[in-house]
Amino acid sequence: MKFHTSDIDLKLTFTSFGAVLLLGILAVLYPESVKNTMGVMLDFTVINFGAGFLWYTLFATVTLLYLAFSRFGDIRMGDSKPKFSKFQLFAMALSAGMGASTMYWGFIESVYYFMDPQFGIVDRHMAMEYATAYNMFHWGAAGWFIYLIVAIPFAVVFYIKKSQRMSLSGVLNSLFNDRLPVWAQKLVDLLFIITTLAATALTLGLGIPMISSNIASLTGIPDNLMLGIGVILGLSVIFSLSSYIGIEKGMARLSSATIYICAFFVGLIFIIGPSALIMNNMTNGIGVMLTEYLRMSTNTDPFGSTLFPQYWTVFFLANWISYSPGVGVFITKIIQGQKLRDVILILVIGGTLGSAVIFGVCGTYSMSLIDTGAIDGVAMIESGQPTALVKEIFDQSPMSMILTAIYLVTMILFTVTTLDGTSYSLAGIATKKLDAEANVSPMFRLFWCLLLTALPIVFLLINADLNILKSFPVLIIVLITPIFLIAAIRTLQYLNNNYQSIMAHQLEQDKHLGINHEVFIARTV
């Protein structure tokens, strides 16, 4: 796809660029004021709107399970056979949607939960068990339901209604039969882009210090501001190259390789760690998570004093919601030719099991070292040293440097593929009209790659803490979540009203593609 400025929404693009530039200037000139203001806004949002995020997630869960197991699950996205294999679909979605953050939190998140156990638990070891379960819950099915409740409207409008716009305003406008005012479309798309940038800022804000810390550990280079900026620039070169090559040749292969390397890393931790304990705790954690799923999904701890659900469960749900626009656009691109049922089940089941294994293995390894007194993980977290805690965990192993090197490579690759998917999504949003394959200009993707590097540099300059990084995704989604809800409801209405004509068209296309359509015949006879 050639690059023509007439193909892109210049006003939207430069408004987004201006918003990022303004935030950067304010953060650098008035760092403490920015931190304090965002901290106050974060407190207000999670306390007053937290329950709303929980109900939105439950709505997404029920809606998508209904789509998967009802007649609508047979609907295929597009008039062609699948462009990517089911493994590639899973690998690319996982890499774009949660990979880099998973590596960051894998070893340390359960420590936070152990320090603040829920449901009145006072027993030390029971607190460890529930910490693992909460780990799996926060990174499991709920996140994928949140992604997919946004992705499905995009996919239906693009593949079924044949719209060539990949913006949220284009989706809404199509679902409302082109009656959405122009000003409303511009506002929706601006919120979309800022939301996606905010989510990416969190991933990079957490990931870059972890990457630079491990580079310093391996090479002896001082872990300072210059190293952090160097890491950002290095990553930008890698994911810009991958973006320019394209999804089929670049990200599809890179994502698959990343999943294999991650699996090798987690397997290595399992082997050198207390394998029996890891297997037992992982199995137990899955059981506790499934048993307590509804309780965790609705926990607000209304009379508690620590605000655990607000600063963890609500934060993670808000993080998924803030990433859902960008990941939703990307999922739309890669599910061409797949049935709705397959897309939903592959991503929800695969994503849940994948995160359960990663957190079950890595989290249990950390907790075992804390339980035996080999490291004082609680003290390190309380002193604000999560990156140092990961280094200490690796230092306790018989192959510290090897683990650090593999972890570093995995973290870099996951970050690159996350940014690669995000740059595609942002370019797609700001492109007025895409081709039938949903391609975007490689040069326009490069522009967004460069813009994505700006926010983490700002965070490094102001030395942003965890709560400031959390505030970005939480604050912005208050305005955009109702829009996702409306889009989902309108999509359900469209599918219900047009199911017969959609499937009739699909049957006609199946004859040309040689696809068996006995399932639909059995459902309609």
* Cβ–Cβ < 8 Å for 266, 362: yes
Question: What's the pLDDT at 520?
Answer: 44
Which of 94, 143, 145, 154 is closest to 329 using CA atoms? 154
Q: Average of pLDDT values for 86-112?
A: 76
Please state, rounded to an integer, the average pLDDT across all residues of the chain.
80
d(CA 400, CA 404): 6
d(CA 201, CA 176): 32
With residue 492 as reference, give the H or E element that holds it.
Answer: helix 466-513
Q: Which of 111-115, 417-421, 433-437, 484-488 has the lowest mean pLDDT?
A: 433-437
Other Cβ atoms less than 10 A from the Cβ of 238: the count is: 18
C-alpha dist (Å) from residue 201 to 101, 205, 323, 451: 11, 6, 11, 11
Question: What's the pLDDT at 316?
Answer: 85
Residue at 405: amino acid letter? A
Q: Average of pLDDT values for 247-264?
A: 69
Greater model confidence, 48 or 452: 48
Q: Average of pLDDT values for 302-331?
A: 82
Question: In the predicted model, is pLDDT for residue 519 greater than 50?
Answer: no
Give the domains, in start order, of the chain with CATH numbers. Answer: 5-495 (1.20.1740)
Q: Would you give the end-to-end CA distance of the chain in angstroms?
A: 44
Q: Average of pLDDT values for 424-438?
A: 66
Quickly state the pLDDT bin for 121 (edges 50, 70, 90): confident
C-alpha dist (Å) from residue 199 to 77, 90, 235, 268, 408: 27, 21, 17, 30, 22
Residue with token string 């929800």: 348
Q: Average of pLDDT values for 37-66?
A: 87
Query: Which of helix, strand or coil describes residue 177?
Result: coil
Query: Which of helix, strand or coil describes residue 8?
Result: strand
Roughly what angle, to the nearest 10 degrees, separates helices 168-175 and 141-155? 60
Question: In the predicted model, is pLDDT for residue 463 greater than 80?
Answer: no
Burial (CB < 10 A; 0-12, 13-18, 19+), residue 380, is buried
Question: Which pLDDT tens digit goes with each residue over 181-228?
Answer: 888 888 888 877 777 777 776 667 667 777 787 788 777 787 777 777
d(CA 469, CA 446): 25
d(CA 452, CA 518): 47
Non-local (6+) Cβ contacts of 420 within 8 A are: 96, 239, 242, 243, 247, 250, 251, 254
For 140, phi then psi, to 5°, come to -105, -135
Question: Which pLDDT tens digit goes with each residue over 45-54?
Answer: 888 888 999 9
Q: Average of pLDDT values for 464-468?
A: 56
* Cβ–Cβ < 8 Å for 166, 80: no
Question: In the predicted model, is pLDDT for residue 259 greater than 60?
Answer: yes
Positive or negative torsion for Cα 149, 419, 394, 108: negative
Q: How many residues does the chain have?
A: 525
- Say what percent of the chain tops pLDDT 90: 22
Quickly state the pLDDT bin for 514 (edges 50, 70, 90): low
Q: Average of pLDDT values for 425-443?
A: 65
Query: Best-predicted range by mean pLDDT among 5-14, 113-122, 316-325?
Result: 113-122
pTM exceeding 0.85: no
* Cβ–Cβ < 8 Å for 96, 410: no
Question: What's the pLDDT at 468?
Answer: 59
Which ranges of 139-224 would DSSP assign to H, the alpha helix? 141-155, 168-175, 182-219
d(CA 396, CA 146): 37
- Tokens at 466, concatenated: 């965890």
- Tokens at 84, concatenated: 């990517």
Which of 27, 173, 134, 23 is closest to 363 using CA atoms? 134
Which ranges of 220-292 would DSSP assign to H, the alpha helix? 225-245, 252-272, 275-291
Question: Which pLDDT tens digit goes with each residue over 372-384?
Answer: 989 888 888 888 7
d(CA 204, CA 232): 9
Greater model confidence, 143 or 438: 143
Burial (CB < 10 A; 0-12, 13-18, 19+), residue 2, is exposed
Question: What's the pLDDT at 99?
Answer: 63
- Tokens at 475, concatenated: 């604050």
Q: Which of 28-42, 106-120, 330-344, 480-494 has the lowest mean pLDDT?
A: 28-42
Query: Which of helix, strand or coil describes residue 431?
Result: strand
CA 227 to chain CA centroid, nearest Å: 26
Q: Average of pLDDT values for 250-265?
A: 74
Q: Average of pLDDT values for 148-172?
A: 85
